[in-house]
Amino acid sequence: MIEAKSGSCGIILSSIFCYLYRVGHISNRLNQEVDELSSLRKYLVVAAIIVSIAYVVGCSSGQTVVPDQDVLQNPSVSQPSQTVPQAQPQAAYQNVDAAKAKELIDSDKNLQLIDVREEYEFAEGYIPGAKLIPIDQLTSRMNEIDKNKPVLVYCAVGSRSASAAEVLAQSGYTNVYNFATGISSWPYETQK
């Protein structure tokens, strides 16, 4: 039997195993299985294994506990220790509205304007100078976008372009703008 460790992970794990035991057996009978639940019990065992793996991975996540300097220098000082999580680099892009997008387009001749909508949407109208790279083709066509130049992405309402901006930022593009409200809020000229 798996022994529960102290802390919230141990309590959660022991509660799950108690529940799984109760579901798979009849009350007041010693380990007598319910025929109808025998196939369900197999699924519950698989679920218990998955939970156990998640417990091991989640409760031993590699975080380091570092005591405060005051505690190291003066043991009589009682202060809680701090957990220092391992930092994950955050990809960054900037959301802009229609006015700021227009300003970027007009002022920066190196700006790459990328429309991540579908081809039929692009045919209905697009911002002049835009290049169509549908969102589902972005990763395979990323070589068409220069990492050393600023990029402004847009779609219809801002959802797909936010995803595209995140992908670009995580791929090393450092100057990425997302037209957050999309072409549906573009009050300026469009082309067909």
Is 59 in the active site? no
Tell which CATH classification among 3.40.720.10, 3.40.50.10490, 3.40.250.10, 3.40.1360.10 matches the domain 94-185.
3.40.250.10
Q: Is the pLDDT of residue 25 over 90?
A: no
Which burial class, exposed, middle or buried, applies to 20 when counting CB atoms under 10 A from its CB (0-12, 13-18, 19+)? middle
Query: Tokens in use for 75?
Result: 């043991």
Position 67 scores a pLDDT of 47
The catalytic position among 9, 18, 59, 155 is 155
Q: What is the pLDDT of residues 94-129, one digit of tens each?
A: 999 999 999 999 999 999 999 999 999 999 999 999
| Closest residue by Cα to residue 160 from 136, 141, 142 | 136
Q: What pLDDT band is residue 23 in, cutting at 50, 70 and 90?
A: low
Q: Is the model more confident about 135 or about 15?
A: 135
Residue 48 to residue 53: CA distance in whole angstroms: 9
For the chain, give every domain's residue range: 8-84, 94-185
Could you tell me the pTM of the whole model? 0.54
- Specify the higher pLDDT residue, 176 or 2: 176
Number of residues that this document lists for the chain: 192
